[in-house]
Amino acid sequence: MGKKRNIRRKIRKWLKVVRAFRKTTKGRFLNGFIGLACLAFVVFCLLLPTDKMASRHIGFRWNLYCFMNDVFGVKYASAGLTRSFAALCRGDLTRAFRYHHIGPILFAFIAVQIPYRAWAIKAWPRALPQKARTAHAGFCAVLLALIIFDWLFLLG
């Protein structure tokens, strides 16, 4: 009987922790965190150069793509994505699509998160209108489908 009580006590304690975590990760805190992360990402992309020697400006060399391409002969799904974002921030849409054909769409999704999350923070504790939430969920689903299709295309 004592073991069951200990298990129940541990479960209740765990549920309290989970509930506390869920309270902090919803509403204004979560929307603010996502909005600030997307804003920081856009600002970071504005600072990136688009040339192939971007590592000189950042201060270190990123060899992951070269390693995977040279050793395994595999082009991975996000190859060229950073250069695509940088080209898009410079206003060169054709070059952005040339580097990665989903890059501008993904960048638009990230950029749209900033006003969407600010709107959600302002509307809190009320929910956003159903049409806005449906459009956001649809944009997420389309982007996810494009990424999966791109991945399958690279594998095949």
Give me the pLDDT at residue 53, please.
46
pTM of this prediction exceeds 0.75: no
Give me the pLDDT at residue 119, please.
93
Question: pLDDT grade, residue 91 (50/70/90)?
Answer: confident
Rounded CA separation 39/124 (Å): 20
Give me the pLDDT at residue 41, please.
92
Answer yes or no: is pLDDT of 89 > 80: yes
> What DSSP letter does each residue of the chain carry, written as one string?
-HHHHHHHHHHHHHHHHHHHHHHHTSTHHHHHHHHHHHHHHHHHHHH---STTHHHHHSS---HHHHIIIII----TTTTHHHHHHHHHTT-HHHHHHH-TTHHHHHHHHHHHHHHHHHHHHHTTSPPPHHHHHHHHHHHHHHHHHHHHHHHHHH-
Question: pLDDT grade, residue 130 (50/70/90)?
Answer: very high
Rounded CA separation 24/41 (Å): 23
Domain ranges of the chain: 35-155
- Region of poorest pLDDT, from 4-8, 21-25, 107-111, 122-126: 21-25
Residue with tokens 């898009």: 88
| CA dihedral of residues 20, 21, 22, 24 (deg, nearest 10) | 90
Give me the pLDDT at residue 74, please.
63
How much is the mean pLDDT over the chain?
A: 81
Question: 42-71 pLDDT, tens per residue?
Answer: 998 888 776 654 555 555 555 445 555 666
Give me the pLDDT at residue 51, please.
62
